[in-house]
Structure 1
Amino acid sequence: MKSVGIRDFKNNLNKYLHLAKAGETIVITEHEQVIAEIKKPSEFLNDLKKRSYIYLEEQNRIGKIKLAKRNQSQIDSILKRYIQKMPRISWGAIRKDSRTDRLTATCETRLRSLKSRATFFARLACSEPKNIS
């Protein structure tokens, strides 16, 4: 375990991240008080099934869901069925869609603005001139 101040950690971030990847635990302090701990993730976090169980148990603990009384093999078969069907998120596609929507909205707003200006100038041109005395 290595203890480091927040300023030193910020200035040498790359060095400390390499140490964490190598298995070293980095404790970050601010004014001699521990504020964070960085370490290599546990192996169970790499396993999707275990993460799913942890998530479900956490949601049950806080009361958002109520776990069914099933044995482990039934839960495994359900998770196996649905985890394979879960689509991967394409952040590029989401970004493209959001930009397309924004571009379309901007173009529609500009078009409405141009139409209202054209209407104004058409009315102005068709109206009778006023005598300014």
Structure 2
Amino acid sequence: MSKQNDVTARRKARVRRAVKAVANGRPRLSVHRTGKQIYAQVIDDVKGVTLASASSRDKDVRDQIKSGANVEAAGQIGKIVAERAVKAGVTEVVFDRGPYMYHGRVKALADAAREGGLSF
């Protein structure tokens, strides 16, 4: 494993540990981004199940967005995952940004999820 992968894995574990410490039983809104796509999941860590998810690869989303690697796509994914989570009965979550900095696509997804009805 390269040094960069070690640094990223440690950062991800550090953030995840902090998020789980303050969760108090709330589900976790986890974000994963790649160079071309963005993914979001609402995960119940107590039960170990995914309650809601959305990605830029979903069939209904692919037609609406030009690229999965921009801020507009992240905003749409945030709205969709919030809508699906509210439908599943979840309104309060903790935000897990993973190893990514809170800006750009990650911030756009978080802001859209807040607008969609999730509070964190």
Shorter-chain-normalised TM-score: which range? under 0.3
- Tell me which protein shows more strand as a share of its residues: 2
**Higher RCO (CA < 8 A, seq sep 6+):** 2
Q: TM-score, normalised by structure 2?
A: 0.23
Q: Larger % of helix: which?
A: 1
TM-score, normalised on structure 1? 0.21
